[in-house]
Amino acid sequence: MKFITDYGPLFIFFSFYYKNNKDLTVAIPPFIIATLAALIFVYFLEKKIPIIPLISGILITFFGGMTIYFDNPVFLYMKPTIINLLFGFSLLFGKFFSEEPLLKKFLKKSITLKDEGWNKLSIRWMIFFFFLAMLNEFVWRTQSEEFWVNFKVWGLLPVTFVFTLLQVPLINKYKLDE
């Protein structure tokens, strides 16, 4: 179910985008509706909405709405940049204003690490989020809309997946024995 709620709205976006002559203004409303429906569905399943999908859903709705209202795709192009900067700066400021790394607060139910491991993992993710923000800016400013749409799914998702897999050795090294 998590896979469907995470990637279902994206599939709907792609379907509408390609079935309607690659028109963002046609693809965005179903994307927003599917995203909000997925958030509601997650809420009924778990009785809460995790923070990252919630923030993402709010930003999709906001920037998608701005794109439609102003008839300007720049708002949608900037959404991944803003999300990644938001996450990167959250991890950065969390180092200074939180007793424990923010990543630990979000993932402590999934994995348990020594503090040194959490710190290193947080730094890696912070740098990665900043990298993704810069990469998105480069792509949308230098490539076509269709290229950017494909890059967002077939580029950013695999890069994130590979980066996550590359963190497994660090996680294993600092994992606490249960």
Residues 101-153 have pLDDT tens digits of 888 888 878 889 998 999 999 999 999 999 999 999 999 999 999 999 999 88
- State the Cα–Cα distance between residues 130 and 125, nearest whole angstrom: 9
Cα→Cα distances 4→9, 33, 54, 128, Å: 8, 14, 16, 25
Query: Could you say which residues of the chain have pLDDT below 50?
Result: none
113 phi and psi, to 5 degrees? -130, 160
Question: In the prediction, which pLDDT does 178 show?
Answer: 62
pLDDT for the residue 96:
82
Average pLDDT, the chain: 91
- Within 8 A by CB and 6+ apart from 142, the residues are none
Q: In 113-151, which positions are buried (b, 16+ CB within 10 angstroms) versus exposed (e)?
A: beeebbbbbbebbbebbbebbebbbebbeeeeeeebbeb
164 three-class SS: helix
Cα dihedral sign, 156-44-1-17: negative
- What are the boundaries of each domain within the chain? 1-70, 73-178
Cβ atoms < 10 Å from Cβ of 160:
14
